[in-house]
């Protein structure tokens, strides 16, 4: 079949007739001019691929007719230009590919057909931990320990980079995936196979949306879905609604991009944007740098949208030059975008497209703020932090409550650290981390933190030595400009030495706290605090001993570290008193925007980016020295506790198995709202009393060798035992937090894995009950794989976060949703019933199905297979089974 849109193909430049593009402005269709810019990217991809990848002319017409079709649950295919992965999600993807090659071979097919068709970049950034800090050699010691712990994983990834074509590995120590994507990998416009077309990307990390700030349409997908995309399968998506977010005015002088994104996060959670695109427009956008826009786009998962798109404008083009991209390619990029009507002028309202809905924010109304203590959307103005925390102390246990008895609000615990006496109380800061690509990608807030540190040191202020301080930049460029501008030494004097180039504290790789600090926290049952410049602060994520965690800008992280507590009113109380007895207030050391911009103009230059990134794939000598096998089929080591062939494809045949009704299922767990993927499949430390720890101990490992759950995602035996192993898990069957449940046949309270094993041995299927926003947070495929291995056949929830629902579909676990107006309470469900879920023969997307209880009660729920393609995956037992059958036949 030939492409029916060849008539709009033309050369970009008469001097380069072989470089062509689909000139969408030649469609001569008024509908195109009214499309949101994000939808124009979907349209171009559909037109360009109209003769392949199941893209039909009707799909193009549906996208072009977006204004009418957006409300009609219309399914459209989308083939992104690239895929990006990080190592926590990349290792299981490569494990799956290796196992899929074995499965295809067993079914008589060519195993090398399992190979990425869509280009993929895998950035190793999730493995390094903050084991060492506050010392000049912290970086080297943390990196050495990272290789010691993860050598086997890294050798496996290096094998993958050689065994599979089209897969590039960015070695450890290079930076954080999304910052590397923003500063180096992103093209904005692709120049490939003789065509120019918009860059687009999906990634196995939910914060892939960060690159939307540069005008590259991207979002996070489940690891399982990403694997299918890499193998050439298009994403099947429902044509999204697009919320126009209009920015007006100018930010106040003391406001940072962090304050803006935390304000937007709270606002859009209230608006409700789950499953929708958000597209930013209005004159206020022109006041934001690309780094500011990237910060806002980065936290898209926290406000629940699929994408958070900033169309390309001249500031975007300028950023490409600033970051050292090839000038000739940048000129072609601008020329292409102008030709197809995708270069935006935010001050020209005549370019404003149609949107499903428009909401506004006046940037001048934004004030300095934090978010917490347990969710990113719970914004608190800095001026209200002291009062808000003290209110949370006594409030009922929940997102904004710790239920501490009033007579214990002022408890103090004395302890000794390195020979000196100190005190801890509720609200004491014990972790202060400048971390995460959300903020370390932004020179203005990083230089702002450096200038604040300089003024603090010069004023005689210090940070208490027991507070775990750290600086983990998203790329080597950050260290470069901090050093060149002269502020690095001041950051070090306050304890903020560079500890590594990776996600670190933001994903829970915060390392241990001093023993005496932990003992004091436990002795006083204190609500200790972590303050970080990250994007997530869910319970149990940052550190097991910090029950309150606040997201803040890098300068505020330093300010709270100096104060030592969040129970401070910066306007009325001093940060500290120097050796001369002078009270130093935050306003005395806060740098002005003009100061920051002057330093940024002088020191953040293209040469830095070129120097760092031209050697990014070869600079790590430890990586270069790794010896990896060269076989196309992986030789599994039965003794390995890191890499194991998964059981997903055991017994797989070419013939389809008809889905069966789920009969008399027990409820494994009964949850409330906002259960995150961190609750379902934690990434952090492996508790010594957990099923995973018992398994690793039985294999001869000591607790020091356990590493983290995230690092062991290549081993299903560990990950199944780590499913629902979060110490902050709240299960309605149990009267306290913890990773346990009731095994109803015996009445015993067991670890979740042990209960699931008993059910499995007795042949009982399982389901999970949940409230709203089930599966919020990271795009963690093990949050679907783990329940699948435990024997969970379905989840019944009030609503799902987009990526997690997709992952459940990808594993063949049925996502069921209560009918509107119904939930467990209105239906009188306790979770102690047994559930029979009828699977009709002729399934249709989003059809209602019957659920019958052993009590005799019957009700209906929505089966959340949203597209025909998802139903195809379900009939195959999951997306990977579908791909194996496709490749084998």
d(CA 682, CA 676): 9
Q: Using alpha carbons, list the distances in angstroms from residue 696 to 18, 145, 149, 586, 719.
A: 58, 19, 14, 48, 11
Cα separations in angstroms, 7 against 19, 339, 605: 15, 16, 43
Q: Is 678 helix (H, G, I), strand (E, B) or coil?
A: helix
The residues of the chain that CATH labels 3.40.1060.10 are 239-311+346-367
Write out the residue limits of the CATH 3.20.19.10 domain(s) in the chain: 662-888
Residue 577: helix, strand or coil by DSSP? strand
How far separated are the first and last CA of the chain, in Å rounded? 22
Q: Please give the CATH topology (third level) of the domain spanning 239-311+346-367.
A: Aconitase; Domain 2 (3.40.1060)
Please, are residues 450 and 567 in contact by the beta-carbon 8 Å criterion? no
Range(s) for CATH 3.30.499.10 in the chain? 80-237, 369-611
Reduce the DSSP state of residue 172 to 3 states and report it.
coil
- Give the whole-angstrom CA distance, residue 90 versus residue 210: 19
Q: How far apart are CA 139 and CA 147, in angstroms?
A: 13
Cα separation, 588 vs 583, in Å, equals 10
Q: Which residues of the chain have pLDDT under 70?
A: 1, 52-54, 779
Report the C-alpha gap between 90 and 98 in whole angstroms: 12
CATH class, range 80-237: alpha beta
Taking the CB of residue 26, how many other CB atoms lie within 10 A of it?
15
Q: Which CATH architecture has domain 662-888?
A: Alpha-Beta Barrel (3.20)
Phi-psi region of 510 (alpha: psi -120 to 50; beta: other; left: phi over 0): alpha
Residue carrying the six token digits 């360009």 = 48
Strand partners, 9: 22
- Cα separation, 348 vs 352, whole angstroms: 8
Structure-token pair, residue 177: 């995936």
pLDDT for res 52: 57
pLDDT of residue 419: 96
Q: Residue 773 in 3-state DSSP?
A: coil
How many other CB atoms sit within 10 Å of the CB of residue 757?
18
Q: Is 820 exposed, middle or buried (0-12, 13-18, 19+ CB in 10 A)?
A: exposed
Q: Cα 672 to the chain's mean position, in Å?
A: 22
User: Is 82 in contact with 118 (CB distance < 8 Å)?
Assistant: yes
Q: What is the pLDDT of residues 825-877, one digit of tens each?
A: 999 999 999 999 999 989 999 999 999 999 999 999 999 999 888 999 999 99
**Is residue 866 within 8 Å of residue 810, measured between CB atoms?**
no
Cα distance between residue 9 and residue 47, in whole Å: 11
Exposure on the CB side of residue 75, measured as CA atoms within 13 A: 16
Range list of β-strands (E), 209-297: 217-220, 235-238, 242-248, 277-281
Query: Residue with structure tokens 């590919």?
Result: 97
Which uninterrupted H or E stretch holds 598? helix 593-603
What pTM was computed for the model?
0.88
Q: In angstroms, rounded to a whole number, what is the distance separating the alpha carbons of residues 758 and 753?
A: 9
Listed residue (729, 728, 725) closest to 712, CA to CA: 725
Question: Degrees (nearest 5) of the Cα angle 368, 370, 374?
Answer: 165
SS3 of residue 856 by DSSP? coil
Per the document, the length of the chain is 889
DSSP state of 211: G
The class of domain 369-611 in CATH terms is alpha beta
* Concatenated DSSP letters of 375-423: -TT-EEEGGGHHHHHHHHHHSPSBTTB----GGGTT-EEEEEETTEEEE
Q: Which residue has the tokens 């089930």?
A: 774
Q: What is the DSSP letter of 465?
A: T
Which residue in 794, 861, 854 sits closest to 826, CA to CA? Answer: 861
Distances (CA, A) of 289 to 149, 243, 477, 600: 39, 22, 17, 12
**Backbone Cα Rg of the chain:** 26
């Amino acid at each position: 079949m030939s492409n029916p849109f060849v008539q709009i193909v033309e050369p970009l430049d008469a001097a380069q007739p072989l470089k062509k593009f689909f000139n969408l402005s030649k469609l001569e269709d008024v509908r195109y001019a009214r499309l949101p810019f994000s939808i124009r990217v979907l349209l171009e991809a559909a037109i360009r691929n109209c003769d392949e990848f199941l893209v039909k002319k009707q799909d193009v017409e549906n996208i072009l007719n977006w204004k009418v079709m957006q409300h009609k649950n219309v399914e459209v295919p989308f083939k992104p230009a690239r895929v990006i992965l990080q190592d926590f999600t990349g290792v299981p993807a490569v494990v799956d590919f290796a196992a899929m090659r074995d499965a295809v071979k067993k079914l008589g097919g060519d195993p090398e057909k399992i190979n990425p068709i869509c280009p993929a970049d895998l950035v190793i950034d999730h493995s390094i931990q903050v084991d060492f800090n506050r010392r000049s050699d912290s970086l080297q010691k943390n990196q050495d320990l990272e290789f010691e712990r993860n050598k086997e994983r890294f050798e496996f990834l290096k094998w993958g980079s050689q065994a599979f074509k089209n897969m590039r590995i960015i070695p450890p120590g290079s930076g954080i995936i999304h910052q590397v994507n923003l500063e180096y990998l992103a093209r904005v416009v692709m120049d490939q196979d003789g065509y120019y077309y918009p860059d687009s990307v999906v990634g196995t990390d939910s914060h892939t949306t960060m690159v939307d700030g540069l005008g590259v349409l991207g979002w996070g997908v489940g690891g399982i879905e990403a694997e299918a995309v890499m193998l050439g399968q298009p994403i099947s998506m429902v044509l999204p609604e697009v919320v126009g977010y209009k920015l007006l005015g100018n930010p106040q002088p003391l406001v940072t991009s962090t304050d803006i994104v935390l304000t937007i996060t709270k606002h859009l959670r209230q608006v409700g944007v789950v499953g929708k695109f958000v597209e930013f427009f209005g004159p206020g956008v022109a006041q934001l740098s690309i780094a500011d826009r990237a910060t806002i786009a980065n936290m898209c998962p926290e406000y629940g949208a699929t994408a958070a798109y900033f169309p390309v404008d001249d500031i975007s083009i300028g950023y490409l030059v600033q970051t050292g991209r090839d000038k000739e390619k940048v000129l072609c990029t601008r020329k292409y975008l102008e030709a197809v009507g995708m270069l935006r002028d935010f001050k020209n309202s005549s370019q404003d497209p149609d949107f499903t809905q428009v909401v506004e924010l006046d940037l001048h109304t934004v004030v300095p703020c934090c978010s917490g203590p347990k969710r990113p959307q719970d914004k608190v103005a800095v001026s209200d932090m002291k009062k808000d925390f003290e209110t949370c102390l006594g409030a009922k246990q929940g997102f904004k409550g710790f239920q501490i008895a009033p007579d214990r609000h002022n408890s103090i615990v004395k302890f000794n650290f390195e020979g000196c006496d100190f005190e801890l109380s509720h609200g004491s800061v014990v972790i202060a981390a400048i971390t995460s690509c959300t903020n370390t990608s932004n020179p203005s807030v990083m230089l702002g933190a450096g200038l604040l540190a300089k003024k603090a040191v010069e004023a005689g202020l210090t940070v208490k030595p027991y507070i775990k301080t750290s600086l983990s930049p998203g790329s080597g460029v950050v260290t470069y400009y901090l050093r060149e501008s002269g502020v690095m030494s001041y950051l070090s004097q306050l304890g903020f030495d560079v500890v590594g180039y990776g996600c670190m504290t933001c994903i829970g790789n915060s390392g241990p706290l001093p023993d005496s600090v932990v003992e004091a926290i436990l002795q006083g049952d204190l609500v200790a605090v972590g303050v970080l410049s990250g994007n997530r602060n869910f319970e149990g994520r940052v550190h097991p001993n910090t029950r309150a965690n606040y997201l803040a800008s890098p300068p505020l992280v330093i300010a709270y570290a100096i104060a030592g507590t969040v129970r401070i009113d910066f306007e009325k109380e001093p940060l500290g008193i120097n050796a001369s007895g002078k009270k130093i207030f935050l306003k005395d050391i806060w740098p002005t925007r003009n100061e920051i911009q002057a330093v940024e103009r002088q020191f953040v230059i293209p040469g830095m980016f070129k120097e760092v990134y031209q050697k990014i794939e070869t600079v790590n000598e430890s990586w270069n020295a790794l010896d990896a096998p060269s076989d196309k089929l992986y030789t599994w080591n039965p003794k390995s506790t890191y890499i194991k062939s998964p059981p997903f494809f055991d017994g797989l045949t070419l013939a389809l198995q008809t889905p069966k009704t789920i009969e008399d299922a027990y409820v494994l767990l009964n949850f409330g709202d906002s259960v995150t993927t961190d609750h379902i499949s934690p990434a952090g430390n492996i508790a010594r009393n957990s099923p995973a720890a018992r398994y690793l101990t039985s294999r001869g490992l000591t607790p020091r060798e356990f590493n983290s759950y995230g690092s062991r995602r290549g081993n299903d035996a560990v990950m199944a035992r780590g499913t629902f192993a979060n110490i902050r898990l709240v299960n309605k069957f149990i009267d306290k937090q913890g990773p346990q449940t009731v095994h109803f046949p015996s009445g015993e309270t067991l670890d979740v894995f042990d209960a699931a094993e008993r059910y499995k041995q007795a042949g009982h299927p399982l389901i999970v009950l949940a409230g709203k926003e089930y599966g919020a947070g990271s795009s963690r495929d093990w949050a679907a794989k783990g329940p699948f291995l435990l024997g969970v056949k379905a989840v019944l929830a009030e609503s799902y976060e987009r990526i997690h629902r997709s992952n459940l579909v990808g594993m063949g676990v049925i996502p069921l949703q209560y009918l509107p107006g119904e939930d467990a309470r209105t239906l009188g469900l306790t979770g102690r019933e047994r559930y029979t879920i009828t699977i009709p023969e002729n399934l249709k997307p989003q059809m209602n199905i019957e659920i019958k209880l052993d009590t005799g009660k019957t009700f209906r729920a929505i089966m959340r297979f949203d597209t025909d393609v998802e139903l195809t995956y379900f009939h195959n037992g999951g997306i990977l089974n579908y791909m194996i059958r496709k490749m084998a036949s």
